[in-house]
A and B are shown apart, each in its own frame.
Chain A
Amino acid sequence: MEIKSNVKKFTFYRRKTTNFVMLSFSLLAALVTLAPLIFIFYYTISKGIAHLNVDFFTKLPTPVGEAGGGMVNAIFGTLILIAIGGGIGIPVGVFTGTYLSEFGHNKFGYVVRFLTDVMSGVPSIVVGVVAYTLVVLPMKHFSALAGGVALAILMIPTITRTTEEMIKLVPHSYREAGLALGIPKWKTTLMIVLKTAWKGIATGILLGLSRAAGETAPLLFTALDNRFWSTNIFQPIASLTVYIYTYASSPYKDWNDQAWTAALVLIILISLLSLIFRIITRSKYKTTN
């Protein structure tokens, strides 16, 4: 049986064409978005792989002109900086987000939310200056701690807003169920609501950490740099990003090459971090609905 359509043949083809054109545009846009990422991966891998060897992960940098050497101090330094930043930024961000979502339906909450949004737009170099004033000046010298504080300030807005949005997605019925079981509100929030939203919050934390790990500008004012092995968080510390900056802008060929390797290692590090996070936060249950 043939279905009679009221749509004229011309209209039908016009719609089909429009559909095709729009679909192509979307596909093109997706490719344009992907292209830089592909180029970044291609260049860092192809240029950085040459110096990627065991030495890079185990040896200290060599003086100019001397071949070889590695960046073990910078790799470790970046990890230390992320750890300090995360140690401060994750709890502050998660708890602020929780506050905003569960208790922040008032003027104060509105102000905090607004300021968080403003904060996420502050240039990272300004954050560096802030950390310089808050930590470096009173301590009278650059330190890993100051760098960590700067990175924490950078992470907080991302973590706060993602936490808030993710907690908002938790159905109200779970909160009610918890409260109706005679579980105090703070425990319901912590053990039921936060636990349910945890996966999404972890994504926010990861975004915050990755962004912080890739920052250079605020570190120049705070953690500075260190050519030697240092584990003291009250002393200046090396970081991959600062090394990339210094090495890439130097006139020496082998330093330029090592900058590429440092970039590659940084990407690997962030990917590893992401992977570890995913494994940790992987939910125990596969839910069907």
Chain B
Amino acid sequence: MEIVEQVKTESIPKNIPMNQDNVKISIQNLSAFFGKTQVLKNISIDISEKKVIAIIGPSGCGKSTFLRSINRMHEVARGTITGKIIFDGEDVMKIDPVFLRRKIGMVFQKPNPFPTMSVFNNVVAGLKLNGFRNRKALKEIVEKTLKQAALWDEVKDMMNKSGANLSGGQQQRLCIARTIAINPEVILMDEPASALDPISTAKIEELIFELKKDYTIIIVTHNMQQAARVSDYTAFFYMGELIEYADTKKMFTSPAKKQTEDYITGRFG
């Protein structure tokens, strides 16, 4: 019995690309620490270009830390990492975090549009604050990105109103628009729908489906059904370790590890 399980585990490759996808980000032996506490243990994952990768796992398993270390947002919370994260062939620790974050954008759990800015200015905040001031070009970018974020029709008449006046779901799509306005290559999403109602959640999921044509998306989620619906690949984290990383379909129909199966069938976590 034991032997069978061992063989089964080893036959599953931990690293993707599984079908010769282009590797966008390659994470090698990543460990992360906050002070002396280790929150990620030796994680290695390859992330394919223009795919959606879902990270699932119980609370406190290091999902968010993993996501944040990719665009060095862990540094904001004074975390440290060892190991390597290679983005387009370059070590992210050698890239200026300001430039890195323009290439790898991030959407947070709670919608956080800037309260002192209008809808319009929220979308182009990243561009404007980095010195891009061509009014006409900005207008075009706002329309384009809001359409991409499926928000244009709802807000086109309230461009000059505060972003804080929108509903939660609209705010989150505004934040997604703000992220794609600076034209990143990768979008990190940290439980983007967990603060939203089912209808708004469905809209965000649809949006993710659209966005993966142009962007590589890594999404942390608590919602297993969501992971199954939106992602191409799924990684299961538990206690800071990567337990399993596989094609989403495979993961949810025949997981290789017992822990994964227990988690996705709701036996723990």
Contact = CB atoms under 8 A, between A and B. Distances in A.
B165 A181 contact: no
A121 B162 CA distance: 41
Interface in A144-192: 171, 173-184, 187-188, 191-192
Interface stretch (A9-17, A133-141, A280-288): A280-288
A283 B116 CA distance: 8
A272 B101 CA distance: 46
A196 interface: yes
Interface string B103-140: 00110101010111010000001100110000000000
28 contacts: A171-B112, A173-B108, A174-B112, A176-B73, A176-B106, A177-B114, A178-B114, A178-B125, A179-B73, A179-B97, A179-B101, A181-B125, A181-B126, A181-B129, A181-B178, A182-B130, A183-B98, A183-B126, A187-B129, A188-B129, A192-B114, A192-B125, A196-B114, A196-B116, A283-B116, A286-B162, A287-B165, A288-B165
Interface of B: 71, 73, 76, 97-102, 105-106, 108, 110, 112, 114-116, 118, 125-126, 129-130, 161-162, 164-165, 175, 178-179, 182
Nearest to A287: B164
Interface residues of A, number: 27
B102 A177 contact: no
Contacts of A175: 76
Contacts, number: 87
B164 A288 contact: yes
Contacts of A196: 114-116
Given A173-B108, A192-B125, A285-B116, 16 more contacts: A174-B112, A175-B76, A177-B114, A179-B73, A179-B97, A180-B71, A180-B108, A180-B179, A181-B105, A182-B182, A191-B129, A192-B114, A198-B116, A285-B161, A287-B162, A288-B164
Contacts of B115: 174, 196, 285, 287
Q: Name the residue in B71, B98, B102 with the highest tally of chain A Cβ atoms < 10 Å from its Cβ.
A: B98
